[in-house]
Structure 1
């Protein structure tokens, strides 16, 4: 059935496209591409993405023209439905990508927060240890500081302080007991 001066209707053209007629596809393309692009552009708002999706839809028309069923609606409504679905899929895909990026950014922030929290905790614990060290006698503090912060062995501490090894061991034991009590560490 021919429309006045327009040639075959879209349904007829689509039937020819289903049989692989490239010239029919060109005519079909010329007649629907503007409407397809316009619909997609209204959904996506981004011209470049709309052009890309319109191209995808029209390639899909070429590949699936045989699936068109004129009993279920017009060729134009079939193509525009396909275009709308594809555009909505693109919006959802873009939103999903944005959501993933936001989740990743939140995770990165959580990691940064954890690093800050760790640094603060370490600093507070260091201050607490210094306060507890200040609660030791000078002799205990010297022995503990040399052994734990200076890296000296008990005999080396004894040599540096010029005291017997037993004295260093006693100072260390008493100093560590006082530190444990001050820090609130369980036995």
Structure 2
């Protein structure tokens, strides 16, 4: 009755009387000591908040406290299991990506053929700049030096060549 009225000293007495039993029950359910400590704390916070709703006609204070403790401990177990299940599903999903090596190789060959055919539609100057940049791995400056062409011209050829290449491949 005093705890329900917000009497802190009365609650401290209840805590002293019940904390070991509540903790023991929670620890048996959870096994993990640190989680049991957290849940025990949650139980007593809930008891403090819900004290006005306690009805002695429905059972003893210790019965109410232990029922609350058991319920919270089981909820924690379910929550932990649910989290492990989610993590496992995500881990399986992330680690098992369906991959067809043969199909992928065929796609790469077909795409390579499309690019080579599209390159043939470009002017010699555009094709040469793109091949040196994308297949040769040269920078724009290196291409300009190799072709003995101004850097601005190389940049223009690359830009215009890529625009024409995209159009030839039907890519917008």
RMSD of the TM alignment (CA)? 2.5
1:18 matched to which residue of 2? 4
Q: 1:125 to 1:23 in 2, by over 3 A?
A: closer
Report the Cα offset of residue 121 of structure 1.
Answer: 1.2
Give the gaps of 5 or more residues in structure 1: 1-14, 130-143, 157-187
Q: 1:44 to 1:153 in 2, by over 3 A?
A: same
Pairing 1:35-184 to 2, within 5 Å after superposition: 35-110=21-96, 113-114=97-98, 116-117=99-100, 119-124=101-106, 148=117, 151-153=119-121
Secondary structure at the counterpart of residue 120 of structure 2: coil
Answer 1 or 2: higher relative contact order, Cα 8 Å, separation at least 6.
2
Q: Distance in 2 between matches of 1:18 and 1:122?
A: 69
Give the gaps of 5 or more residues in structure 2: 125-172
Bigger Cα Rg: 1
**1:101-148, CA deviations, whole angstroms, 9 ceiling, x for partnerless residues?**
1111122124xx23x32x441214567x7xxxxxxxxxxxxxx89952
TM-score by length of 1: 0.59
Report the Cα offset of residue 46 of structure 1.
Answer: 0.4
